[in-house]
Each structure stands twice: as structure tokens, then as C-alpha cells.
Amino acid sequence: MIIHYNDISQFEKRYRTAFINSLAGFRQAVLVGTKSADGFANLAIFNSLIHLGANPALFGLMSRPDTVQRDTLQNILDTKEYTLNFIQAAHYKKAHQTSARYDRGISEFEQVGFPEAYHPAFHAPFVEDAVVKIAMKFEESIPIQLNGTVLVIGSVQQVEIDAAMVGPDGFVDLSAADVLISQGLDAYFVSKEIGRLAYAKP
């Protein structure tokens, strides 16, 4: 089967969304924790985390078009802080529920049952049960003119992780902790390592 550009553009909207999202493959499921300037906690699942560089340590996060209220994006822009939380696969139903459109001021932490955790140096909340907790500082946002999405770029400020997950060479073994991954908008998985290879040279 060959599907051309014109075919894709003529797909029914929800079908096209499911097709293109799942076509992008398996991605890290991450819960993004924020708090508004007036003190309301927010939690939302994203599957668009991008490694942008190690020195400085930068991650990118794609936000959907802000044609409707986007609490996560607005909180990041207002407070310049957010958290990235990797959770175990057993919590996938609660994680998925954070994608629901709750009214502003309603805490997804409370609605789905994820306890909040805080570090004295950061305004934004962490997921207490997360196996990896990353504190992020907002650095810049880049609007994508083609579709209205926004690339949010942040720098890693702090990482809380079990030392047993970090190998002697610095490799973080997420699969050993059954960290949740996703495909598309509603399918969830765990990963299984098939092997690590030496640095490739000609």
C-alpha cells in the first residue's frame, strides 16, 4: 500500500490524526508538572520529548497550537519552570487521564491520584511516584509557523533518580524500571533492551 500526500490530506480528521501520530513510532511518555503564577498545580502527559544536546543539557517539548487554553504552556511561559516525570507502566491509565481537558484551576494531580512532591529550590511540582524526576528551566520557545505548534526548549536543572539505574558509563537504564512509553495518542507500552553496541567507527 502506498499513501500519498493528497491521500493523507483527505483522510477524515480523527483518522488522519491517529495515523500520523502512531506513524511517528514509540516515544517517551512524560508527565509535565507545572504550577501557575497564582498557585494552581497542573499535570499533563506529553509524548514529544526531544533530546537537543548534552552540553548544555537541553530538552525540547512540542506543545500543540495555543488556539485553546494550554495551561502547561502558559504556566511554563509565566513561571519559567516545569518538571519532567517518567513513571512506571503500571500507572498508564492515570497518566492517560491527565490528557483530559480539565478546567483551569483543577489539579490533574488530585483528579487522577498522583501525589505532588516539591523541592525547596523549585516552584513547579513533581510526581511523587515518578522513577525519574527532572527539574527544567525554560530557555526559549520557537513557534512552528506551518501548523501553529510551539517548540519549548528547557535546560536540565536537577535530576532525581535511583543510582542503580545509572550505569558506570552514565547510561540510564529506563527499561529496567518499566518506564512507560507510548505510541500515538492512546497506546502504551514498556520497552525491552535487545543489546548495547560499541561506538561505531569506520
At 104, the pLDDT band (50, 70, 90 cuts) reads: confident
Confidence of residue 174 (pLDDT cuts 50, 70, 90): very high
Domain count, the chain: 1
pLDDT at 39: 92
What is the domain range of residue 124? 27-190
* Coil/strand/helix, residue 180: strand
Q: What pLDDT is attached to residue 199?
A: 87
Contacts of 91 (CB under 8 A, 6+ apart): 114, 129, 180
> In Å, how far from its chain's centre is CA 170?
22
pLDDT band at 16 (very low <50, low <70, confident <90, very high): very high
* Domain-located, residue 108: yes
Residue 65's pLDDT is what? Answer: 75
The CATH number for 79's domain is 2.30.110.10
Q: Looking at residues 89-93, what average pLDDT do you find?
A: 96
Q: What are 50's three cell numbers?
A: 526531544
Looking at residue 123, its pLDDT comes to: 93
Q: List pLDDT tens digits, range 120-144.
A: 999 999 999 999 999 999 999 999 9
Average pLDDT score, the chain: 93
Q: Are 81 and 124 in contact (CB under 8 A)?
A: yes
- Does residue 12 sit within a domain? no
pTM for the predicted model, two decimal places:
0.93
More confident residue, 65 or 165: 165
How many Cβ atoms from other residues are within 10 Å of residue 31's Cβ?
A: 27
Q: What is the pLDDT of residues 176-202, one digit of tens each?
A: 999 999 999 899 999 988 898 888 999
**Residue 198 covered by a domain:** no
User: What ranges in the chain are assigned the alpha helix state H?
Assistant: 5-10, 13-23, 71-79, 92-97, 108-112
**CA atoms lying within 13 Å on the CB side of residue 72:** 25
CA gap 120, 118 in Å, rounded? 6
For residue 8, is it within any domain? Answer: no
Segment 90-119 shows an average pLDDT of 94
pLDDT surpassing 80 at residue 163: yes
The Cα-based distances of 27 to 30, 115, 186 in angstroms read 9, 24, 12
Asked whether residue 116 carries a pLDDT value surpassing 70, the answer given is yes
Domain-located, residue 95: yes
Cell numbers found for residue 70: 494550554
Distances 29 to 3, 96, 140 between C-alpha atoms, Å: 28, 9, 22
124 part of a folded domain: yes
Arithmetic mean of pLDDT, 89-94: 96
Phi and psi at residue 177, to the nearest 5°: -100, 10
Residue 66, pLDDT > 70, answer no
Residue 196: inside a domain, yes or no? no
For residue 103, pLDDT beyond 90: no
Q: Tell whether the model's pLDDT for residue 29 goes beyond 90.
A: yes
Environment class of residue 47 by beta-carbon count within 10 Å: exposed (0-12), middle (13-18) or buried (19+)?
buried
Report residue 73 as a C-alpha cell: 504552556
Examine residue 170 and state whether it is found in any structural domain, yes or no: yes
